[in-house]
Structure 1
Amino acid sequence: MAKILVTLPHLSSPGGVSSFWNALLPEFGGRKEFEIIPLEIGGHGKNPFGPLVDQWKLLKSVNKVDLCVLNPSLGARSFFRDGLFAKQLALRKRKFAIFFHGWDEDFEQMVTKRYIPLFKGTFAKAEQIFVLSKDFESKLREWGYTGVVTVATTTIEGSLIQDFSISEKMNNLRSTDKMRLLFMSRLVREKGIYETIDAFRKLKKSVPNLELLIAGDGKEMDRVVNETQNDADIEILGHLTGSRKREVFINSHVYCLPSYTEGLPTSILEAMAFGMPVITTPVGGLKYFFKDKEMGYFVDLKEEEDMAARLKDLILDREKMVHMGNYNHDFALSNLTANKVAERLANSFASMIARS
């Protein structure tokens, strides 16, 4: 049985990478051809020796496995830490793959200006690189990567949508008086939290039966709480997991995530699985994955009224919401569930291990 070492954040921590692997690891558990070995890294806080501990943990394990899979984001901290991982693996002639999850476009420009030689000596040594957008693939080619690039997706944890009834939700949507918008993400400016609040307030003037649920945590939490304390129909829920997260998805009607930059956010895929039209922006992997006017709407944040107008168009047309909700649910179940994504990754891992 082949052994595959996967570096990842602590599985109990919030974030897209831990959610991705929490969903996939059970799907890999029953496979006979290889074993996935998680290696949790990071989470050292201000400990200056944390990065050295991570390097030691990796080097202690690499000689026992047939393939390593690194899961960085394209950002300053991860680029240098995981770049050193890649360098060590290349020097030891160990097969490894890279799965870039997040992608910081400002840091992308830094790589183009300063760090292409570093990229070529580290990540470019990978057998295969997974990205979440064709734009990211093009950038890797521009930087000199000649190996296999796969445009992949994130995934939905199967237990989250188990026994969910799309027909029941659509029936409730047709009859409910209350409309709930949901924002669920890290509370940072770049996720479009303030644009979402502003659009809600504008829409509330003409659609009084509207609520906004804000789920998540992050550095903007205190400011968001302070700025919305007088908004009677805005509810701050904090970070959600498990049954509470499922309950909020079931009882919400439109999902909003107008990010400035993205890979392919798991929360959008989850919202789709729960039959929600989505309001988002044409950035990162969303630019190619998301079908504007079928899955929801792209909005232009430079146009001040655009998001509120798109939301109003949706919530005043229940049948359009039902059509989009059914389409998103069917698409998610056919393409984005953990078993489907795990099968595609398993085939790629097997091919890499088999290559001489």
Structure 2
Amino acid sequence: MGKYKVLMVGPDRSVHGGISGVVNNYYAAGLDQKIELKYIGTMIEGSKVRKLWRAMKAYMQFLVQLSGYDIVHVNMASDASYVRKSFFIKAAKRARKKIVIHQHGGDFEGYYGQLSQKGKKRVKEILSMGDIMLVLAPAWKKFFGTLIDENKIIVFPDCIEMPPVYQKQYGQHKLLFLGRICKEKGVLELLAAAEKLQQKYPGAKLYLGGIFEDEKLKEQIEKNSDFIKYLGWISGKEKQKYLQESDIFVLPSYFEGQSIAILEAMANYCAIAASDTGGIPQMIQQEETGLLFEPRDEKSLYAALDRLLADKHLCKKLGNSAREKAEKEFSIEKNMEELLKIYGSI
């Protein structure tokens, strides 16, 4: 039958974020060798004018390329991402292409809830145009199943490439956060908890890797630079270095689709403390592969981190179990096999 011809759209591969990370993982694992794949980046970082120009240019490129492909794979989140991708979905539907809608966002329910009745009806119409909808966790299948035919929805977790096996050193009191540095990622609560923890564990260090979205947070971090180190956006070998050296990973998000950063931490034997929201409980089982705490709850966050800092044996147990689960359920090879089956099914 030959290779599947797939036209995939999503944020530009240079964008700092989870979706571009997933796409780059696919390329690194050779998906473009298994199928005839064309990727079009619909969004880049920068000013509103720059973003609008890229979206328009991407849409025109998409229309030119569309006739040569059988399947359109749309990677999207919520808000502006959904609005942009709705134009691509409608064009693919008009061209009678098979459509895979891949939902990555963690707050689509919140976005949907603030729409007018007309807006909600339109969302249902757009999402129903897909032949298959991929969601990251069972919780999202339940939600989207109230909007479209649930039989179209497949739980399809994100994936990563596994680093080589190595021995993690626990008890170092090195905590790592990776993600957007903003209120919605729970950074306010994290900074407050870290300040108290530093008094109890004077040698502890908190490393923050990501891009600032709130200048007030930047000022607060700079005031505590003796035990908090801002790394900027890190990737590749530098990110792997900090994942290997840090014995604890923390992500106190208010909402989350499924965190690539948590998967990377699992693959690197980190003891993980994360908020109990969205797709995170699919990865982190309480007391087995990590510790869960309530989002927006500084006391709960503090208690989880305090336990890990106080008990390196607990860290080792959780870190090894997390690595085992990542290998079994979230490897890029397993994920690609499933994706090819999904393409074949439509």
The alpha-carbon deviation at position 121 of structure 1 amounts to 2.6
Secondary structure at 1:107 match in 2: helix
Q: Aligned to 1:227, which of 200, 210, 220? A: 220
Match of 2:274 in 1: 280
Question: After the TM superposition, which segments of 4 or more aligned residues of structure 1 sit over 6 Å from their partners?
Answer: none
* Aligned counterparts, 1:321-332, within 5 A: 321-332=315-326
Secondary structure at 1:122 match in 2: helix
Match of 1:94 in 2: 97
> What do the CA deviations read for 1:228-282 (whole angstroms, capped 9, x no partner)?
2232111111000111111000110111111001100100000011001111112
Amino acid at match of 2:41: E
Q: Distance in 2 between matches of 1:91 and 1:53?
A: 20
Amino acid at match of 1:19: G
Q: Distance in 1 between matches of 2:98 and 2:79?
A: 24
The alpha-carbon deviation at position 210 of structure 1 amounts to 0.9
* Aligned counterparts, 1:326-341, within 5 A: 326-341=320-335
> What do the CA deviations read for 1:31-57 (whole angstroms, capped 9, x no partner)?
2xx322212222274334443322212
Structure 2: unaligned runs, 5 residues or longer: none
The alpha-carbon deviation at position 200 of structure 1 amounts to 1.1
Residue 215, structure 1, aligned to residue 209, structure 2: yes
Q: Aligned to 1:135, which of 134, 139, 143? A: 139
* Aligned counterparts, 1:62-211, within 5 A: 62-73=66-77, 75-104=78-107, 105-111=109-115, 113-158=117-162, 161=163, 163-165=164-166, 168-169=167-168, 172-173=169-170, 176=171, 178-211=172-205
Cα distance change on mapping 1:103 and 1:114 into 2, 3 Å: farther
Question: Structure 2 length normalisation: TM-score?
Answer: 0.92
Q: Aligned to 1:254, which of 248, 255, 258? A: 248
Secondary structure at 1:51 match in 2: helix
Amino acid at match of 1:78: S
Superposed CA RMSD: 1.8
Q: Distance in 2 between matches of 1:143 and 1:65?
A: 28
Instruction: Decide whether the 8 Å contact of 2:198 with 2:227 is kept in 1.
Output: no
Q: Distance in 1 between matches of 2:296 and 2:189?
A: 10
Question: Structure 1 length normalisation: TM-score?
Answer: 0.89
Secondary structure at 2:114 match in 1: helix
Instruction: Decide whether the 8 Å contact of 2:194 with 2:206 is kept in 1.
Output: yes
Structure 1: unaligned runs, 5 residues or longer: none
Q: Aligned to 1:291, which of 271, 285, 299? A: 285
Amino acid at match of 2:341: N
Amino acid at match of 1:41: T
Instruction: Decide whether the 8 Å contact of 2:254 with 2:277 is kept in 1.
Output: yes
Cα distance change on mapping 1:151 and 1:111 into 2, 3 Å: farther
Identity %: 23
Q: Distance in 1 between matches of 2:97 and 2:271?
A: 44
> What do the CA deviations read for 1:305-332 (whole angstroms, capped 9, x no partner)?
2211111112211111111111011111
Instruction: Decide whether the 8 Å contact of 1:24 with 1:339 is kept in 2.
Output: no
Match of 1:310 in 2: 304
Instruction: Decide whether the 8 Å contact of 1:215 with 1:238 is kept in 2.
Output: yes
Match of 2:233 in 1: 239
Cα distance change on mapping 1:107 and 1:164 into 2, 3 Å: same
